[in-house]
């Protein structure tokens, strides 16, 4: 029976390390069922709580997922590389390409659960966009999937007086997306600013992103501004932290 005393590694982590090695070495393929609690109890001679903790460790790392009533399964996923500068380049949306192409590479993505509505701007949105309190804004909510895995929720706020009845108010904004349409309206984005932080997800975010317990999210808030520094969009993005690598390049 494995033991853990003094400064040694806890038993549940030893078990998790063994299972993780089997996953990364491809001994266990994507979608394979991991040994259950009873199997681990017998193999390692541990209590059920220890076996459960080992499996929870892998779930929290995002490399396994629990299916109620069925078991815990391998969840392999090559992280998306989100290149902050490249994905917002005019070279993409200016020629009708979606900025998401820079993230998903050749893996493709699916945009689902799209909703568009006109709502009163929340106080912080009105402040960032320079609008009067409760001014109407076009709100676009989306969920993005890669390889059928939800990876990001995004909510864009745009001044209703600016976007009016343009294609921005439709579910499908057309080639180049929101930024190409803003350019057609004479409000082409020329500057972007992003703020990034990490936190635990709200219950509805856990459900929408299908996150396991203990999995944090990365929240990115981006403001798009014209050459005259007029803010034309506030975009709040909630990312599954285990699905992304964030890349930013800077000159010294």
pLDDT digits (tens, 9 = 90+) for 193-202: 999 999 999 9
- Whole-number pLDDT of residue 86: 60
Above 90 in pLDDT, residue 47? yes
Distance CA 46, CA 56 (A): 15
- Whole-number pLDDT of residue 85: 63
Mean of pLDDT over the chain: 87
Question: Is the pTM above the cut of 0.85?
Answer: no
- Residue appearing with tokens 């403001």: 223
Which helix H or strand E contains 110, and what residues bound it? Answer: strand 110-120
Nearest to 231 by CA among 157, 133, 140: 157
User: Which is more confident, 111 or 77?
Assistant: 111
Residues in contact with 246: Cβ distance below 8 Å, sequence separation at least 6, in sequence order: 82, 84, 196, 218
- Whole-number pLDDT of residue 84: 66
How is domain 80-247 classified at the CATH fold level? Chorismate lyase (3.40.1410)
Domain extents in the chain: 11-74, 80-247
- Does the 11-74 domain belong in CATH 1.10.630.10? no
pLDDT band at residue 64 using 50, 70 and 90 as cut-offs: confident
Identify the DSSP state of 10: P
Tens of pLDDT, residues 153-198:
999 999 999 999 899 999 999 988 999 999 999 999 999 999 999 9
């Amino acid at each position: 029976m494995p033991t853990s005393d003094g400064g040694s590694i806890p038993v549940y982590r030893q078990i998790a390390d063994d299972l993780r090695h089997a996953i990364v070495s491809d001994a266990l393929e994507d979608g394979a069922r991991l040994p259950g609690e009873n199997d681990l109890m017998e193999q390692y001679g541990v209590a059920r709580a220890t076996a459960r903790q080992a499996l929870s460790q892998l779930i929290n790392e995002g490399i396994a997922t629990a299916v109620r009533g069925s078991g815990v399964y391998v969840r392999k996923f090559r992280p998306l590389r989100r290149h902050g500068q490249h994905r917002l380049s005019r070279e993409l949306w200016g020629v009708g390409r979606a900025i998401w192409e820079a993230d998903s590479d050749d893996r493709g993505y699916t945009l689902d659960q799209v909703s568009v509505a006109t709502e009163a701007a929340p106080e912080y949105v009105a402040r960032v966009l320079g609008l009067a309190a409760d001014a109407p804004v076009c709100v676009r909510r989306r969920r993005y999937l890669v390889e059928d895995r939800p990876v990001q929720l995004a909510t864009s706020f745009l001044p209703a007086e600016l976007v009016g009845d343009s294609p921005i108010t439709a579910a499908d904004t057309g080639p180049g997306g929101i930024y190409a349409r803003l350019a057609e309206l004479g409000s082409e984005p020329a500057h972007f600013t992003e703020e990034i932080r990490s936190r635990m997800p709200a219950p509805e975010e856990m459900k929408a992103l299908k996150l396991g317990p203990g999995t944090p999210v990365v929240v990115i808030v981006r403001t798009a501004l014209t050459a005259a520094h007029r803010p034309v969009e506030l975009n709040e993005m909630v990312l599954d932290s285990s699905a992304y690598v964030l890349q930013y390049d800077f000159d010294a």
